[in-house]
Amino acid sequence: MKPKSKWVKPSTQAFFREADQLPDYSRFDRLHAYIYGRWIYFYIGLGRNNHPLVRALTPLFKGFGKLLPQKPLPENGSGTLADGYHGKVISAETARQMVTINQEIRIDDLEHVIPYPRARAIILQNPAHIVALDCPCRMAQENPCLPMDVCLVVGEPFASFVSEHHPNHTRWISQQEAVEIIQAEHQRGHVSHAFFKDAMLGRFYAICNCCECCCGAMNAHRNGTPMLASSGYVCVVAEDLCAGCGTCEEVCQFSAISAAEGYAVVDYAACMGCGVCLEHCEMEALALERDENKGIPLEIQRLMEEAAQ
């Protein structure tokens, strides 16, 4: 089913041409992707607020999906939303690297990095094409954190699709502007996530810069739906350097640090290794250390080097 150019925007045609190359990309995936991308504020807003319309339509979508060719769920699949829509926590440095790549790359089957059964490829086409999108999660809030335009849609066909369908909520930015947005968000204490979605061609498409009060994924994760994967690091404290000021506790978006004992104490189970606390510690008493129990870091430069071998 190829769209007719008379009725379909060029960016949508480009998206579907990409979809045509995927043997297991179903008609339901096409529909899901179009609804998600075309009406993302409606989609995210209803989901964030557990709107009655979502509860009413969910059985209908599930019933429609059963009529279409089905992709088998891998043995390690949980059958939850997290199987097809999830983020990997990344440091500010990794986020900067991902928006300053100057070559097209293809890295498939990142099951050792992204611990989910679907949507775990990084395929960057025209990686310098970046759109700053007004955050759908913040837009869904009555009193959101500001600024709004902190979601970065990276590469094609995603950047053009989002820009063409949401001209009032997007702006094209340079790679340097993307770096500045990431840094400014980290200075505000917000966390960067590389987001992947099954319907979005099964691959990386955006970097979200999130806060616990607005972010749907962070709220879902806190409430038991594992939509976020750890960076692969945990924060450790040098007690002899720690002043017990509590700044790290204030900025931690995962409630993983407490200074109640007069110095910082990290809950390693809750820590996602984002590194935001490090950037706010004037005493330089905090550091990130690899934790094998937290998975493998998404280090784009290393992955590119491995893919080139």
What are the DSSP calls for 131-171, one per residue?
EEEE-HHHHTSSS--S-SEEEEEEEETHHHHHHHH-TTSEE
| Inter-CA distances, 105 with 38, 116, 124, 286, Å | 26, 21, 5, 34
**Domain co-membership, 211 together with 259:** no
Q: Is the peptide bond before 147 cis (omega within 30 degrees of 0)?
A: yes
Three-state SS at 194: strand
> According to the model, what pLDDT value does residue 281 have?
95
> According to the model, what pLDDT value does residue 275 have?
95
Q: What is the pLDDT of residues 6-65, one digit of tens each?
A: 577 899 999 999 999 998 888 888 888 898 888 888 877 654 444 454 445 444 444 444
Residue 39 belongs to a domain: yes
> According to the model, what pLDDT value does residue 78 have?
47
Q: Which residue is listed with tokens 């690297």?
A: 97
**Domain co-membership, 216 together with 262:** no
**Domain co-membership, 150 together with 248:** no
Is residue 152 within 8 A of residue 207, CB to CB? The reply is yes
**Domain co-membership, 135 together with 201:** yes
Residue 200 belongs to a domain: yes
Number of domains in the chain: 2
From 41, 33, 42, select the one nearest 11 (Cα to Cα).
Answer: 33
**Domain co-membership, 123 together with 221:** yes
**Domain co-membership, 42 together with 95:** yes
> According to the model, what pLDDT value does residue 65 have?
40
Q: How far apart are CA 127 and CA 87, in angstroms?
A: 19
**Domain co-membership, 131 together with 250:** no
**Residue 101 belongs to what domain range?**
10-229+296-308
The distance from CA 143 to its chain's CA centroid, rounded to whole angstroms, is: 22
**Domain co-membership, 136 together with 244:** no
**Domain co-membership, 64 together with 77:** yes
Is residue 258 within 8 A of residue 267, CB to CB? The reply is yes
> According to the model, what pLDDT value does residue 64 have?
40
Residue 16 belongs to a domain: yes
- The number of residues making up the chain comes to 309
Q: How many CB atoms lie within 10 A of CB 244?
A: 16
Q: Is the peptide bond before 52 cis (omega within 30 degrees of 0)?
A: no
Residue 3 belongs to a domain: no
Give pTM, 2 decimals: 0.86
Residue 2 belongs to a domain: no
**Domain co-membership, 156 together with 274:** no
Q: What is the pLDDT along the chain (309 residues), one digit of tens a residue?
A: 444 455 778 999 999 999 999 988 888 888 888 988 888 888 776 544 444 544 454 444 444 444 334 344 344 444 444 456 789 999 999 999 999 999 999 998 888 898 877 788 999 999 999 999 999 999 988 899 999 999 999 999 999 999 999 999 999 999 999 999 999 999 999 999 999 988 899 999 999 998 999 998 898 888 888 789 999 999 999 999 999 999 999 999 999 999 987 889 999 999 999 999 999 999 999 999 999 999 999 999 899 988 887
Alpha-helical (H) ranges within the chain are 10-20, 27-38, 40-48, 52-66, 92-98, 136-139, 158-165, 175-187, 216-222, 247-251, 276-280, 300-308
> According to the model, what pLDDT value does residue 170 have?
97
**Domain co-membership, 210 together with 263:** no
Residue 266 belongs to a domain: yes
Please report, for the domain that includes residue 263, its CATH number. 3.30.70.20
From 126, 170, 125, 180, select the one nearest 148 (Cα to Cα).
Answer: 170
> According to the model, what pLDDT value does residue 27 have?
86
Residue 265 belongs to a domain: yes
Residue 163 belongs to a domain: yes
- DSSP output for 202-239: TEEEEEEEE-TTT-HHHHHHHTT---EE--SEEEEE-T
**Domain co-membership, 300 together with 270:** no
